[in-house]
Amino acid sequence: MKQNEPAADKVKMLGPYNRLIYSKSPYLLQHAANPVDWYPWGPEAFEKARREDKPIFLSIGYSTCHWCHVMAHESFEDSEVAGLMNDVFVSTKVDREERPDIDSVYMTVCQMMTGSGGWPLTIVMTPDKKPFFAGTYFPKESRFGGIGMLDLIPRIKELWMTRRDELLDSADKITAALKQVSPVEPGQEPGERTLSAAYEQLAQHFD
């Protein structure tokens, strides 16, 4: 394919695949046939999110991750979940082995917001890359007191449409706290209180 081909023509040639089909990462290629309209991490995804006024759904994993495969099978290969994701988000997939820098930043966010981390890493953020929701594995359906994708996605859509100011305020606090982490000594978390407060503000909406 020629580099100067229009983006629209390139998309038409994808057929049953999403944009991950052009990736070199084995992990991303595993998701190239998903009904989720995945984008690789890059300007195209964030420009689309700004243009369509949608949050970014960021999923980070790696090819040998068990729970990554479970979530992929339950949700990302499921047409019902994929339909919701395509309606509400611009979805982005990252291979942590290919982009450890991105993984490190958002794993820190997840650990400081929720107290734990792991893969698959799930982040929802603004088109300006400011996170306001973090977690790891989510099942398709809510169970055992935990929210599932079929309930989580409509909830985020509702908040994005009706309580945007609260989300943006929390996202700004989380981003500011995250910026404090890098220059400190290992083990110190000067932004933890701020992150916890921001997360508590959000968590009440996801009970």
| DSSP annotation string for 41-81 | SSHHHHHHHHHHT--EEEEEE-TT-HHHHHHIIIIIT-HHH
- Which residue, chain included where needed, has tokens 């400190």? 184
Domain hosting 118: range is 7-163
Distance CA(12)–CA(150), nearest Å, equals 29
Please measure the distance between the N-terminal and C-terminal CA atoms of the chain and give it in whole angstroms: 48
Does pTM surpass 0.85? no
> Residue 62 is encoded by which pair of tokens?
């790696």
Q: Is the dihedral of CA 69, 71, 76, 78 positive or negative?
A: positive
> Residue 99 is encoded by which pair of tokens?
């982009």
Distance CA(38)–CA(57), nearest Å, equals 9
Q: What pLDDT sits at residue 134? A: 95
> Residue 174 is encoded by which pair of tokens?
């989380």
- In-domain check, residue 127: yes
Q: What pLDDT sits at residue 12? A: 44
Q: What pLDDT sits at residue 83? A: 98
- In-domain check, residue 198: no
Per-residue model confidence as pLDDT tens for the chain (207 residues): 444 443 434 444 456 899 999 999 999 999 999 999 999 999 999 999 999 999 999 999 999 999 999 999 999 999 999 999 999 999 999 999 999 999 999 999 999 889 999 999 999 999 999 999 999 999 999 998 889 999 999 999 999 999 999 999 999 988 888 877 654 333 333 344 545 555 555 555 544
Cβ burial, residue 7 (10 Å; 0-12/13-18/19+):
exposed
The enclosing domain of 157 has a CATH number of: 3.40.30.10
Q: What pLDDT sits at residue 177? A: 84
Look at the chain and report how many structural domains it folds into: 1
- In-domain check, residue 86: yes
